[in-house]
Amino acid sequence: MDQLNIQGQILTEKSGDIYLAALRRNSDLSSLPAKYIVQPTVYDDIPPVLACALAQSPPLEIAVKGGGAHSSTWASSNGGIVIDLSKLNKVTLAEDKQSVTVQGGALWGDVYEVTVRERLEVVGSPLWFVGVGGFTLGGGYSPLSGEHGLAIDNMLAATVVLADGRIVEASPHTEPDLFWAIRGGGGQFGIAVDITFKTHPYAGPFGSGVLAYPGSQLPSVLKVIQDWKTTQTPAERFTMTFSRPAPHFKPSIVILPIVLHDENLTRSSKVLAPFRALQPVLDKVAPAPDMKTVSHAADAGLAAAPRRLVIRGTMFSDFFPELLTAVWDRWVAFTESNEDVRASAVLWDMTHPGELTQIPSDATALRNRAPHYWMAVQGRSTTDASVQAARDFTTSVVSLVREKNAELATDLGWFLSMCQGDEKAEDVFGANLARLRDVKARYDPKKVWSKGIVIEPTL
């Protein structure tokens, strides 16, 4: 591997600090000691690296890193090779400004740097440090999804490096099966070295901020949410968290609104009125001029959070009070039990689901197109000793949500972008799994892409 003549860099332990920096992930639990980290700078760097890794006996495990935000170890390898796309992070706006082509290692912050200058929007992450690659191939639930659907619904094409080293264009016209599979099937089919997205007109200014309530107000907050949902427009995206904010660390319900087209906070004043009537203990909503600003809103809080983080997530059909209350009780008990895990939180996404339901459920590999929301459990620990407890907690809560949702509505399976790898492929991909297995047989029959929720090729 060291002898390969490529334009990018090949790092090993001997490379010192740059190797250690390249191992770093959003969660310390996601980092593994790779034998080689390859940082390609041109697409042609990748095929010889794949060939060399596969020619070893036994072949080296290959992992692909986009932004490194996923909380599993899917973008890392213990003793294998990581193809780290961080130097492939160019963002190129088309001349007609109708689309933007983003390289597979760019972060959403890199995209917003470009789109904000042009007063354009792309359906992307609410957080700047999330990678475009992993976010998009997993579906991509954005604050703009209420108006424009998911990131995959805004994909026009992608350039993909396949397991056999070919570099192909995937679009509705070329390699259409591959194009179908990467929209929701994750990194199981190749490396998306660039993705072209539709752009949209400016959706700001955004009303963004925080309203917080003591836990005793959970029933009233849930009641207001039920009423608000009946009039919610696609321009309002709220996230609710169960968390223990400093300095008091008491169980709290925190609503984080992002309201689009919110000139002079007019729209947010209207939609937040019933939430304000409950007299939150904290009410700080301010105008943010653009998505770049919105994507940095959580920086201070996240910088202070413990870096041992495990996330699991799942889907749910509605804000059933019995479901949310059951999770609340479990979360309060867990975070009270041990100070090490007090920063663990539960997030409930409240994006208007209307637009994503306009796409038929077999048009992309994404399982769910009936109205739904997603939720995530963030298990955080300040010590190694409590990591397992945090892991067990995330598993128990998402299982509870999935089971209760199946009882109250329907089973929606797991959320690929927030899986840990022990989930069954049929639970993640549902009825689309059979076609995914056929596409896997065609594009990666030897399972070179062996990290993540591995899809078994059809025999």
Ligand X SMILES: Cc1cc2nc3c(=O)[nH]c(=O)nc-3n(C[C@H](O)[C@H](O)[C@H](O)COP(=O)(O)OP(=O)(O)OC[C@H]3O[C@@H](n4cnc5c(N)ncnc54)[C@H](O)[C@@H]3O)c2cc1C
| Position 192 contacts ligand X (CB under 6 A) | yes
Instruction: Tell me the torsion sign for CA atoms 400, 404, 406, 410.
Output: negative
Give the one residue of 71, 73, 199, 252 binding ligand X; rule: CB under 6 A: 71
Position 130 contacts ligand X (CB under 6 A) = yes
Nearer Cβ to ligand X (217/314):
314
Among 77, 99, 125, 196, binds ligand X (CB under 6 A): 125
Residue 152 binds to ligand X (criterion: CB under 6 A): no
* 413 lines the binding site for ligand X (CB under 6 A): no
Residues 294-324: b if buried by 16+ CB within 10 A, e if exposed: bbbbbeeeeeeebbbbbbbbbbbbebbeebb
Determine the size of the site formed for ligand X (CB under 6 A).
Answer: 35
Burial per residue of 29-40, b for 16 or more beta-carbon CB atoms within 10 angstroms, e otherwise: bbbbebbbbbbb
* Contact status, residue 151 vs residue 124, Cβ threshold 8 Å: yes
Told to check if 327 binds ligand X by CB under 6 A, we report no
Residue 149 in the binding site for ligand X (CB under 6 A): no
Among 39, 70, 217, 235, binds ligand X (CB under 6 A): 70
Exactly one of 10, 11, 26, 254 binds ligand X (CB under 6 A); that residue is 26
Residue 146 engages ligand X in binding (rule: CB under 6 A): no
The two structure tokens encoding residue 83 = 């193809």
436: three-class secondary structure by DSSP: helix
Yes or no: say if 54 and 35 are a contact pair by the CB < 8 Å rule: no
* Nearest to ligand X of 126, 430 (CB atom): 126
Is the backbone peptide bond immediately before 205 cis, with ω within 30 degrees of 0?
A: yes
**How far is residue 311's CA from residue 346's CA, in Å, rounded to a whole number?**
10
DSSP state of 263: G
Residues 306-325, interacting with ligand X (CB under 6 A) = 311
Residue for token pair 């997530």: 313
Selected from 11, 52, 64, 144, the binder of ligand X by CB under 6 A is 64
Which range, of 42-50, 58-66, 225-233, 333-341, touches ligand X by CB under 6 A?
58-66
Residue 294: which H helix or E strand, with range?
helix 291-295
Question: Minimal distance in Å, beta carbon 171 to ligand X?
Answer: 16
157 binds ligand X (CB under 6 A): no
Q: Are strands 252-259 and 36-39 parallel, antiparallel or unpaired?
A: unpaired
**Using the rule CB under 6 A, is 134 a contact of ligand X?**
yes
The residue from 187, 204, 205, 413 that contacts ligand X (CB under 6 A) is 187
**Contact stretch for ligand X (CB under 6 A) within 126-134, 257-265, 284-292, 326-334:** 126-134
Q: Are strands 200-201 and 99-103 parallel, antiparallel or unpaired?
A: unpaired
Considering the rule CB under 6 A, would residue 162 count as an interface residue with ligand X?
Answer: no
Is position 65 an interface residue for ligand X (rule: CB under 6 A)? yes
Kindly give the pairing relationship between strand 36-39 and strand 9-11. antiparallel
Least distance from C-beta 186 to ligand X, angstroms? 6
The residue from 50, 106, 127, 218 that contacts ligand X (CB under 6 A) is 127
Identify which of residues 195 and 218 has a Cβ nearer to ligand X in the complex. Answer: 195
Non-local CB neighbours of 342 within 8 Å, separated by 6+ positions: 244, 249, 335
**Strands 252-259, 236-243: pairing kind:** antiparallel
Binding string, residues 90-119; x marks residues near ligand X by CB under 6 A: --------------x---------------
C-alpha to C-alpha distance for 286 and 332, rounded to whole angstroms: 30
Q: Which of 36, 74, 334, 443 binds ligand X (CB under 6 A)?
A: 74
Residues that bind ligand X in the complex, under the rule CB under 6 A = 26, 64-71, 74-75, 85, 104, 125-127, 130-131, 133-135, 137-141, 186-187, 191-192, 311, 417-418, 451-452
